[in-house]
Amino acid sequence: MRHNDLRISEVFYSLQGESKTVGMPTVFIRLTGCPLRCQYCDTSYAFSGGEMTSIADIIAQVAQYKTRYITVTGGEPLAQPACLELLKQLADKDYIVSLETSGALDVSQVDQRIVKVMDLKTPASAEESRNLYTNLPYLEAKDQLKFVICNAEDYAWSKDKLDEYQLDKQCEVLFSPSMGEQDPTELAEWILRDQLPVRFQLQLHKILWGNSPGK
């Protein structure tokens, strides 16, 4: 294995289903492996397997598609150290790059041109203990912090974190219902009732294609 090789589950072209660029045609680079086991995970197929691929080959695959938008996702992309170099090289080619990360691994070395879309894991995720709060100072206005909310207790917890860390003053905050667990309309009504400074987010790709891999 070469220093700049990465284990890749898939590279695919679809509409961005979340975040600020929702609806934009995007190339997704899904890295294999994740140290977390969130109970609602919909990409467990990326926990293992995949193919070792050089950064040059990954960038060549990306270049087949006529879009400037790239999302590096997983699994947990930062579990592979060479992810940092992949992000840098994509940014060097003037792609608009976002990184989807669990919030459990250090983000301090991520290239400043990359848009970080980071989770804070709620109690019902079963991985709340993995939250790395030292990551929060590295979030900037262009970044986004996501809470996947499974129930009323998760909502109350998320609201407390929003207030405790004044998160909306730092970056955009996303509240997203866990599909099949939290009713989306109910979550929307809670946000409006409490006048929270957050973006309500549904997963567009699931509305369009369900849980199909590669979409």
Run means of pLDDT, 10 residues per run, the chain, 215 residues? 84 91 94 96 92 97 97 96 98 98 98 98 98 98 98 98 97 96 97 98 81 60
Copy the structure tokens of residue 124. 């019902």
Amino acid at 22: V
36 in any annotated domain: yes
Preceding peptide of 23 cis, ω within 30°:
no
- In a domain, residue 95? The reply is yes
Q: What is the CATH number of the domain that holds 94?
A: 3.20.20.70
- Dihedrals φ, ψ of 65, to 5°? -110, 140
Phi/psi of residue 187, nearest 5 degrees: -60, -45
Q: Say if 215 falls within a structural domain.
A: no
Question: Starting from the edge strand earliest in sequence, which strands make up the sheet with 115-119, in order?
Answer: 51-54, 5-15, 25-31, 69-73, 96-101, 115-119, 144-149, 172-177, 199-200
- In this structure, is residue 44 part of a structural domain? yes
Rounded to the nearest 10 degrees, the angle between the axes of helix 184-194 and helix 152-164 is 40
Give residue 212's pLDDT: 62
pLDDT number for residue 4: 80
Residue type, 173: V
* Residue 214 domain-assigned (yes or no): no
Structural domain contains residue 57: yes
Question: pTM here?
Answer: 0.93
Total domains, the chain: 1
Residue 156: inside a domain:
yes
Asked whether residue 165 is domain-assigned, the answer is yes
Tokens describing residue 204: 């567009």
Classified as helix, coil or strand, 52 is: strand
Instruction: Please count the CA atoms within 13 angstroms of the CA of 177 that sit on its side-chain side.
Output: 20
- Tokens 């009323």 belong to which residue? 152
**pLDDT value of residue 204:** 83
Residue-range definition of the domain harbouring residue 99: 5-209
